[in-house]
């Protein structure tokens, strides 16, 4: 099994060893850089660049610059998706956003993690676990979602939260670590 196959299967892999992974990240970063440096009023060019970056998308979506991701092909966004400025998606695993997802500024979705074992970590190994965001979810600013998290439908994640565990549907959750504070 090569490093990309390990990555896509949630196994420990070396992202800095496999030349194809390095090249894929480089190509994605170049497209992100072009997107981030396109004049703001040139919405058509920015939209076309996003369509080259993102693996799967529906018709109506907006991502404000700046936007960075690792590979792009593991990202899926639903209809009526909006992200404010400074979105970061580390996507060695799938990151799936449902319909009507709204993301505040300075948010990060990180599927990549590193082993607790010092020897493995010092070898540069990492793992990736998918993130799933259901329909009608709203994120306040400065939210971080960690590997392997699923967020249920109609939920709100308060500003500044660090989401390390699954969040159920129909709740308001916030904090570090993020916890349910109200059912809606």
Residues labelled as active-site residues: 114
Strands (E), 72-169: 75-77, 81-83, 87-90, 95-97, 102-103, 108-110, 112-113, 125-128, 131-133, 138-139, 144-145, 150-151, 156-157, 162-163
Would you say 139 and 107 are in contact if contact means Cβ atoms under 8 Å apart? yes
In whole angstroms, give the CA distance from residue 35 to residue 14.
28
How far from chain centre, in Å, is Cα 176? Answer: 19
Torsion over CA: 113, 129, 103, 169 (sign):
negative
């Amino acid at each position: 099994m090569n490093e990309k196959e390990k990555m896509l299967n949630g196994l420990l892999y070396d992202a800095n060893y496999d030349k194809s992974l390095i090249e894929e990240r480089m190509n994605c970063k170049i497209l992100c850089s072009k997107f981030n440096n396109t004049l703001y009023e040139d919405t058509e060019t920015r939209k076309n660049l996003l369509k080259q970056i993102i693996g799967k998308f529906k018709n109506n979506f907006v991502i404000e610059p700046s936007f960075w991701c690792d590979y792009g092909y593991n990202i899926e966004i639903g209809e009526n998706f909006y992200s404010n400025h400074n979105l970061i998606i580390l996507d060695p695993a799938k990151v799936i956003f449902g319909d009507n997802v709204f993301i505040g500024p300075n948010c990060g979705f990180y599927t990549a993690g590193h082993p607790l074992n010092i020897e493995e970590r010092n070898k540069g190994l990492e793992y990736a676990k998918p993130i799933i965001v259901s329909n009608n979810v709203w994120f306040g600013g400065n939210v971080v979602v960690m590997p392997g998290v699923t967020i249920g439908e109609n939920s709100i994640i308060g500003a500044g939260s660090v989401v390390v565990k699954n969040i159920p549907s129909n709740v308001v959750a916030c904090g570090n670590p993020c916890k349910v504070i109200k059912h809606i």
